Structure 1
Amino acid sequence: MHNIPLFKVLAKDSWIRPFLKRYKKTMVAALILGFMTFFCAGALMFTSGFLISRAASIPENILLIYVPIVLTRAFGIGRPVFRYIERLVSHNWVLKMTSKLRLKLYNTLEKDAIFFKNRYSLGDVLGLLAEDINHIQNLYLRTIFPTIIAWILYIFVVIALGVFSIPFACLMALLLFSVIIVLPLWSVVVNGARQEREKQLKNELYTELTDNIIGVSDWIFSQRGHEYVNWHDQSEKQLQDTQASLQKFNRRRDFLLQVIMGIIVVALLFWTSQQFPGNHGGAANWIAAFVLSVFPLVDAFSTLPDAAQETNIYKDSIKRLNALPTMTEQSTEKALEGSLDIKIEDLVFFYEKNNRKILDHLNITIPQGEKLAILGRSGSGKSTLASLIRGDLTPTSGNVQLANLSTEQMGDDISEYIGVIQQTPYLFHTTILNNLRIGNEQATIDAVWEVLRRVGLEKLVEELPDGLNTMVDEAGLRFSGGERHRMALARILLKDVPIVLLDEPTVGLDPITEQALIDTFFEQLTDKTIIWITHHLQGIEKMRHVIFIEDGQLEMSGTPEELAKSNPRYQKLKAIDEGKF
């Protein structure tokens, strides 16, 4: 797959090509302006060289050099003007295209977030949003535009030289062909694999760093932090070695390019001395003109090897964008009937990107009203299981059902039945009232005060200057961690969903606040199904059932009392949690 040329990837593209057609006039204008920039630069040096030599050979007759003087002024003004306009037009074209591309991407992710997450981990999503759109922007500014402009210049130069000498034009065509075709192709072939490796290592570091920072408490709790640090150091070393190989090749290739351009200059020196012999410095006039005109063109041709080499990065970004799911709308459009039991049958899940299996043939039944705790180290699959129960992920095989309906098919309707309190509940930059009414916009003021009383926040809100109309800072930073969790619980109570997922809600809280929060949770959710994901066993005795997931499989199951008496592993975990081990 990595050896597929960029043009074949673009041929099957449904993201980039529509915008090419929409803004094609602007793109053509940018290409013409880019050509005119280098044309004026070369023509400026050509006429300047001729003018200097001619003025030196016959200084007494100003009329003989009047035309070169005018052309020098014209090309001298034209070069920066065309350059400036070309930059405006090309960047305007690219920015218009990428702005529409970003809008399309965000709409796709918002509409299909549930179905997108089963193929990509959080680090991949961030990579797609942060890097791939910029790669598409650079594809045009640093690769496609410079390459097309260089090809146009190549054709123009060969034809212009052919007017004077077809054999010499053929020689120049061969030398320049090695610069604009052979060297770029060589860069793609030799350095392509290295660049793929570099991007792969960067993506792995990005993904793992993102996921493990979020789960850093699990690494610390399991006393395996040094393992991650060692892995990270090894990955960094591999990345540095790969980048060193890339740079070494680039230095050698750039040296070869300069050698070829030097050969072109020497060939021009020899050819012009033979092509334009004559008195009064005739040969010298044209030698200076032709030779000096080469140097501005070096800037147009020297960037092509790097530009071609970067296509390995760009085509991967294009493939990732085209791999996004088609926007869909799914809904049950009816209330669930019967008991709201959750059945997990032969559940298998792995991320398609790295084929890493997270859950392996898991079978669990969670009756309505059950109080279930899910334990497991970081990466064991417990949070993935919660996402599958919530319908945020699609199983690779097997199924997760709520009242005999697959949760993945419920779409947004799942929020009517399952609420979630996460590690860091988010409060929006609006009033407290609006924050609490997110799940139930029709809730009365009395109902809002009632849930605040139940979660222990009534007095706090009453003492605020504007009460329920008090504005909440971005992310709710004016409230403590425990208060934000109680706000999240108030939302759940106002929504009155029958099932609540507690995704390690007490992480980072001090022991006193943690215990008080746990007591509030279980006092107020006593009539609901509770699924508590945790690595911390404080308050575990409040649960009816405890399971332990290891490497995607169910390794331990029972009531807290049974496990405390008979299971050595649970006893060890309990002792560690209580500081007795």
Structure 2
Amino acid sequence: MLNKIPILRSLKNDHWVKPFLKRYKKTLILAIFLGILTFVCGAGLMFCAGYLISKAATMPENILLIYVPIVLTRAFGIARPAVRYVERLVSHNWVLKMTSSFRKKLYDSLEVDAVFFNSKYQLGDILGLLADDVSHIQNLYLRSIFPMFVAWGLYALIVVGLGILSPLMGLWMLILFGLMIFAIPYWSVIINGARQAYEKEVQDKIYVDLTDNVMGVNDWILSGRNKEYLRLHVASEKEWLKVHQKMRKFERMRDFLLQMLFLLIVVSLIIWAGAKFGGHYSSATNWIAAFVLAVFPMVDAFVQLPSAAQETNIYQRSLVRLNKLPQPKKEEVKPIDLKQPYELTLSNVHYTYPGTKKEILKGINLTIKPGERLAILGRSGSGKSTLASLIRGDRKPSSGSIKLNGVDTDKFGDQITKYISIINQTPYLFNTTIANNLRLGNEDASEEQLWQVLRRVGLSEMVQELPDGLETKVDEAGLRFSGGERHRLALARILLRDTPIVLLDEPTVGLDPITEQAVINTFIKQLKGKTLIWITHHLQGIDKMNQVIFIEDGKLTMEGTPQELWETEPRFRELKKADQGL
């Protein structure tokens, strides 16, 4: 029967939820214990208060007869909020530690496929992995696993405690609370869980149909089928509403059943306490009030379980998607310390994307000498950016090798950032201060060093005129600045990093010709003496390069200095004239 519950099937081969339960089990056990103790203190407070109120109403001859209930009421009254506060601290500490490790594992897992992530996942899947799934797994802990363990602990205490006083009453509570903890949540998952999945399916279909139909609404109108379009949409809405109403109706019936069970528990306690302590009427009244009031705060731990169990159907999708991700790499990269000068050697490099048959690069042989300025040209899709990722070690060649001073670049891992920096087509600036964005290149850079690199890239005067100078926020994605300014800030970051090799992956795309030439001049001037690899699809500024290569269909088709290619390659002359508008 338990195999019918999706979340349990998914947890069998899970490597995302169970490991964190084991890793932080001590903190989790303490949080669960404090959670149970919170409800015990609440029940103890109501038990003593109920006994005290009914006992005091009989006008005891001496205050000492109710002294102990008074002390216990105060003790439980103080203990309940205090224990709850500590429980919140411990549980939140546990959740934060778990979430931190969980996110790190997720990012490490995504990094395995990061270089071709967009080709494997749609944007919605990426957002789901990075946002929804993390939230869902966190809720799985907080709203399902944690309350479930607390409820089980209380369940055991109630059954054992009442079983000691009366085995028959203990057995009866075992049945009643068992229905609240196991039977009704299971029923809720089976019945409403299927409806919940169908509701999500219908809702997704409505979104897709609505988007497609709105985009083609003119076709519907011109063909005279606008009423049919409305009829289809209304039918889908009615189907969704029908499922939604069934779910709400079931939840109302389930909640009513829980209340009836609770009422049955209260009545059972009244009858049992009256019979157990019924030797004297006033004594029986005291114990009846005590036991009945004690059960009220404890029921709060049980009534939320059915809805929490039902929500696991939502979390199950996230669990399945997460478990399909590759396991993070665990091998440690050995420290690599290279000595100058730095030379890149590409030997018979072939590359095919995993899961495809089309070969992107076909036998590339190239040597990039220290301090050389190399331009890699080719049409879009020719393999230029793939070659850049291979040079930086983000990808491993299918065959052949790319070595930096004799070491394969894919062996460096994060250490490659000591030797190779990159400026992409759209340099990203984070929504923080200019200073913080620049210090991504060097965390220890002083304010004077920041101003120095800004002067080198021609932005110091602009930054000085800003209201807060270096502490000015750049806005999300750096939209406060123009395209040319964002490229210059990215260059300033590279200058702070001071790597010997800089890779420019079409950094001037989208800039107007004047700004483009100014940015190119700045790059060439400020990166003088470094090995510069410039990937581009047109020839502006090409004369400033030492070496030029053309990649077509994954192969090198032209290679030489700009002057040599101008003199010996008619096609190069045509391309350059076309690029200059001649």
- Could you state the TM-score of these two structures normalised by the residue count of structure 2? 0.62
* Match for residue 352 of structure 2 among 336, 347, 353: 347
- Return closer, same or farther for 1:294/1:94 CA change in 2, 3 Å cut-off: closer
Instruction: Give the whole-Å Cα distance in 2 for the aligned partners of 1:382 and 1:45.
Output: 78
Gaps of 5+ in 1: 203-224, 228-237, 351-356, 549-553
Instruction: Give the whole-Å Cα distance in 1 for the aligned partners of 2:326 and 2:202.
Output: 22
* Match for residue 502 of structure 1 among 505, 509, 523: 505
The match for 1:354 is: none
- Return closer, same or farther for 1:540/1:306 CA change in 2, 3 Å cut-off: farther
Deviations 1:87-124 (A, max 9, x none): 32222213333454466568778999964736966977
The match for 1:81 is: 78
Establish whether residue 97 from structure 1 lines up as the match of residue 94 from structure 2: yes
The match for 2:427 is: 424
Instruction: Give the whole-Å Cα distance in 2 for the aligned partners of 1:506 and 1:2.
Output: 48
Contact 2:192 2:250 in 1 (8 A): no
Instruction: Give the whole-Å Cα distance in 2 for the aligned partners of 1:410 and 1:243.
Output: 56
The match for 1:256 is: 254
Contact 1:346 1:362 in 2 (8 A): yes
Deviations 1:63-110 (A, max 9, x none): 289799767756765565344223322222133334544665687789
* Match for residue 47 of structure 2 among 43, 47, 65: 43
Deviations 1:475-527 (A, max 9, x none): 596864313313434665784745523255444x5564345435655788898
The match for 1:486 is: 488
* Match for residue 38 of structure 2 among 31, 34, 37: 34
SS state at 2:329 partner: coil
> Which residue identity lines up with residue 345 of structure 2 in the other structure?
L
Aligned-pair distance for 1:294?
Answer: 4.2
SS state at 1:62 partner: coil
Instruction: Give the whole-Å Cα distance in 1 for the aligned partners of 2:574 and 2:31.
Output: 74
Deviations 1:379-436 (A, max 9, x none): x9986764444223557x5577346864321334534654311212549857699769
Contact 1:399 1:406 in 2 (8 A): no
SS state at 1:392 partner: coil
> Which residue identity lines up with residue 263 of structure 2 in the other structure?
V
Mapping 1:246-285, distance limit 5 Å? 249=247, 252-253=250-251, 255-266=253-264, 269=267, 272-273=270-271, 276=275
The match for 2:550 is: 545
Aligned-pair distance for 1:262?
Answer: 0.9
- Return closer, same or farther for 1:474/1:390 CA change in 2, 3 Å cut-off: farther
The match for 1:176 is: 177
Aligned-pair distance for 1:363?
Answer: 1.8
Range moving further from structure 2, 287-296 or 148-157 = 287-296
Instruction: Give the whole-Å Cα distance in 2 for the aligned partners of 1:384 and 1:84.
Output: 60
* Match for residue 410 of structure 2 among 371, 383, 408: 408
Deviations 1:253-281 (A, max 9, x none): 46324314414524753784586379968
Mapping 1:431-510, distance limit 5 Å? 438=442, 457=458, 461=460, 471=470, 473-475=472-474, 480-489=482-491, 495=498, 497-498=500-501, 500-507=503-510, 509=511
The match for 2:377 is: 372
Instruction: Give the whole-Å Cα distance in 1 for the aligned partners of 2:199 and 2:557.
Output: 43
Instruction: Give the whole-Å Cα distance in 2 for the aligned partners of 1:339 and 1:555.
Output: 18
- Return closer, same or farther for 1:294/1:431 CA change in 2, 3 Å cut-off: closer
Instruction: Give the whole-Å Cα distance in 1 for the aligned partners of 2:34 and 2:68.
Output: 24
The match for 2:566 is: none
The match for 2:22 is: 17
Number of aligned residues: 503
Instruction: Give the whole-Å Cα distance in 2 for the aligned partners of 1:524 and 1:373.
Output: 26
SS state at 1:375 partner: coil
Range moving further from structure 2, 128-137 or 30-39 = 128-137
Instruction: Give the whole-Å Cα distance in 2 for the aligned partners of 1:408 and 1:89.
Output: 48
Instruction: Give the whole-Å Cα distance in 2 for the aligned partners of 1:399 and 1:242.
Output: 56
Aligned-pair distance for 1:302?
Answer: 0.7
SS state at 1:324 partner: coil
> Which residue identity lines up with residue 84 of structure 2 in the other structure?
R
Instruction: Give the whole-Å Cα distance in 2 for the aligned partners of 1:394 and 1:250.
Output: 54
Instruction: Give the whole-Å Cα distance in 1 for the aligned partners of 2:16 and 2:428.
Output: 44
Instruction: Give the whole-Å Cα distance in 1 for the aligned partners of 2:336 and 2:241.
Output: 51
Deviations 1:311-345 (A, max 9, x none): 56388399699943326224554469866347641
Mapping 1:147-162, distance limit 5 Å? 147-162=148-163
> Which residue identity lines up with residue 40 of structure 2 in the other structure?
M
Contact 2:384 2:551 in 1 (8 A): no
Mapping 1:502-581, distance limit 5 Å? 502-507=505-510, 509=511, 512-514=514-516, 516-517=518-519, 528-532=532-536, 539=540, 545=550
> Which residue identity lines up with residue 505 of structure 2 in the other structure?
L
Contact 2:195 2:247 in 1 (8 A): no
The alignment-based identity, stated in percent, is: 28
What is the Cα-based RMSD across aligned positions, in Å?
6.2
Instruction: Give the whole-Å Cα distance in 2 for the aligned partners of 1:462 and 1:271.
Output: 80
Contact 1:272 1:287 in 2 (8 A): yes
Contact 1:158 1:172 in 2 (8 A): yes
Gaps of 5+ in 2: 1-5, 204-213, 217-235, 369-373, 560-568
SS state at 1:328 partner: coil
The match for 1:205 is: none
Deviations 1:549-576 (A, max 9, x none): xxxxx7999999969999xxxx9xx9xx
Instruction: Give the whole-Å Cα distance in 1 for the aligned partners of 2:392 and 2:295.
Output: 65
Deviations 1:423-462 (A, max 9, x none): 12549857699769849999x99xx78x966x6x2xx547
Instruction: Give the whole-Å Cα distance in 2 for the aligned partners of 1:65 and 1:266.
Output: 37
Contact 1:30 1:86 in 2 (8 A): yes
Contact 1:184 1:304 in 2 (8 A): yes
Range moving further from structure 2, 180-189 or 111-120 = 111-120
